[in-house]
Structure 1
């Protein structure tokens, strides 16, 4: 029995008691079920009696007595105890607990999916970059965590659009073009241009794609170098992210907001809402009306739109696409954006607490051999995403980024991440999956098959119960991680599950010894092993990490 199934059983017990006139309450729409801190207090606990006491006009313990009596009639419940002011501590029958393994195996890859966010349309923007160079260490954290969050939101029933914002407007694009042209001519890039070795590679690619480019007039040359270099560099960024298992539904170009009239439409919309002010020849948005520390200029006195104007136009574009919530995942140096982005939503007439979320991620450092890495082979002055993956591999980097709260600065220790030992978290979890796969292979080699069914009541060992309870928690872990936008909850759960499996395996023999004939207990434990393997695989998939069969 899963927590969700137990919650429904409790709700049914309340409904039966109310129908019989034992308590005068409306059955609750939902019931909270939690794991007690101490095993001696049972498998699960609920505070439903405390919630219903006022409505029932009775002390919480009196309500608890009524609900407990009804709940004890459920075949899946072995016992119910009343604790403290009226908590119900519930112990499941062995067969009900053991049935979880069967439910996991039958659900397969779908186990863990839930409908907690069903009906919500969410735009998730989690990487924003200039198409002027390789993706660097500043992009690595959100490339992993954002992709994992998208997977969690989808697994919890939301309709999610994963979006990459291309910063392709502004003077940096002209500097980019001038840098590539200089390399194509065998010259050094401008002092304020782009210096990395990758610029020379881009120049070669542009000359190959456009052999006639140097025959163009200088003005046309720069425009051609800008567009060809842009196309080549963006394609490289896309390929890098694909190899990192990070995929986007929308690649949104900033310059389309200007070329397509989006900025002008945004100003008109915000003016109609009554929050535009013309002052000193410029166009201002009164964001201080909604908590920003100062008003923001949308159009300068010279008629040039600001970056903030593009931010406003971009939000209104998302709004027009019909999203309930737009999530922005920004770097540690973007705290100042929180108030201004929420003010844009408020100025547009939306509820800023519902329509927009801003998640801030702290910095990442990479260390190897006791020292911090600061240079790239291609980019020169920054460590790139490709550099980090080359050092430790996609699995290790993604898992390590996902397992830490984004509120804290993260240090990626390459020496640890490449070590095959239990103190390497990704190895620890992947090894648990591979170990179970090995057990299942050995069983098949000895002619022991799981079969179509098993006796769930045989799974009554303390370590089996620990493992079953952990498996039952997985859907709730997924739902909570999605709701709170905390990807690390899944990784930490997987590490705890791996440890719980290892303790089970050490205490409970799965395969028969020597010439011993396999029995029903062996088959039941095979079901439990397969269920654990499936949950480990499902959890790793949510993190975009592979689940190896052999290690």
Structure 2
């Protein structure tokens, strides 16, 4: 179950509660689900009960209890717990990794796209400043990927500080990263360090992580290890990063913030690079279901990295 799936599951529980008269509220268009904070319960959490409490004329704990009853047997959920003043905390089934990898494989580069913003119309004025134009066009792609009707011709503007768009000296990929990685109100990154192939260069790490996945798949083929998620893999950082990808894309669209995508790609790349050494058999070790599952997880990570870079207009080379 992905965060997007979980959000829809909770939304359906709200609709059921309203439909059977347990809650008297307007059904929200979307339910926000986020990673549980350190020390919290389960993998994900939602404050939907606190959001609906006032309109329902009930305490958040009462609302949470009503929703919890309708979530107990939801597919993909191992458990639902109410914490604090009324937060819903969710534990996913142990086969959630298989569902996640399957979702990425089926969606391909479109993993994370959706219809959450369907019916939303956004029109931007065409910016004259190069960085503002790049940011705006990237935001339009993000909005459209979430179902919004986005384009140019209106008055909404994205304000960014002027900066040199030095594609002629940096190349397209480094120039785009330099302008999109900082928040729009911050200064562009210094360009020359982005051309250095070193782990201190975040753009290099992201693109290198993708190339490592391609190499793992090629090496796996030579060893007759094919990607297939057959057994649970203990890789919480990487699974969490892949699961969060749809949430990050939606948040980046809503907040007009492509930098969120770039930061998430860095986190995904770091998790993949820490995980890569366990993927294929070493020495005389025989291929097993664990190796096939790890390779499938790595393949999914490569898909997410390539898709995220594509959203930013940056290439994902097979070799670096």
Q: Aligned pair in 2 of structure 1 residues 20, 357: CA closer, same or farther (>3 Å)? A: closer
- Which residue pairs with 1:174 in the alignment? none
User: Matched residue of 2:95: which SS?
Assistant: helix
- Which residue pairs with 1:93 in the alignment? 93
- Which residue pairs with 1:153 in the alignment? 143
CA contact (8 A) 2:118 2:148 kept: yes
C-alpha displacement of 1:547: 0.1
Q: Which is further off, 425-434 or 75-84?
A: 75-84
2:231 pairs with 1:499: no
CA contact (8 A) 2:52 2:60 kept: yes
Q: Aligned pair in 2 of structure 1 residues 500, 125: CA closer, same or farther (>3 Å)? A: same
Match of 1:423 among 179, 200, 205: 200
**Correspondences of 1:326-337 after superposition (within 5 Å):** 326=154
**Correspondences of 1:162-173 after superposition (within 5 Å):** none
Measured in 2, the distance between the counterparts of 1:537 and 1:77 equals 29
Unaligned runs of 5+ in 1: 129-138, 163-317, 319-325, 327-355, 366-384
C-alpha displacement of 1:429: 0.8
Q: Aligned pair in 2 of structure 1 residues 80, 120: CA closer, same or farther (>3 Å)? A: closer
Larger CA Rg, structure 1 vs 2: 1
Measured in 2, the distance between the counterparts of 1:149 and 1:58 equals 39
Measured in 2, the distance between the counterparts of 1:153 and 1:67 equals 30
C-alpha displacement of 1:120: 4.5
C-alpha displacement of 1:99: 0.9
Measured in 2, the distance between the counterparts of 1:474 and 1:140 equals 28
- Which residue pairs with 2:226 in the alignment? 449
Measured in 2, the distance between the counterparts of 1:47 and 1:160 equals 29
Q: Aligned pair in 2 of structure 1 residues 546, 411: CA closer, same or farther (>3 Å)? A: closer
User: Matched residue of 1:88: which SS?
Assistant: strand
- Which residue pairs with 1:483 in the alignment? 254
Q: Which is further off, 95-104 or 59-68?
A: 59-68
CA contact (8 A) 1:94 1:460 kept: no
C-alpha displacement of 1:103: 0.4
Measured in 2, the distance between the counterparts of 1:142 and 1:51 equals 35
C-alpha displacement of 1:88: 1.4
C-alpha displacement of 1:16: 4.9
Q: How many residues align?
A: 319
Q: Aligned pair in 2 of structure 1 residues 158, 24: CA closer, same or farther (>3 Å)? A: closer
Measured in 1, the distance between the counterparts of 2:173 and 2:318 equals 14
2:213 pairs with 1:436: yes
TM-score by length of 1: 0.53
Residues 224-257 of structure 1, C-alpha deviation per residue, up to 9 Å, x if partnerless? xxxxxxxxxxxxxxxxxxxxxxxxxxxxxxxxxx
TM-score by length of 2: 0.88
Q: Aligned pair in 2 of structure 1 residues 161, 84: CA closer, same or farther (>3 Å)? A: closer
User: Matched residue of 2:34: which SS?
Assistant: coil
- Which residue pairs with 2:304 in the alignment? 535
Residues 303-329 of structure 1, C-alpha deviation per residue, up to 9 Å, x if partnerless? xxxxxxxxxxxxxxx4xxxxxxx1xxx
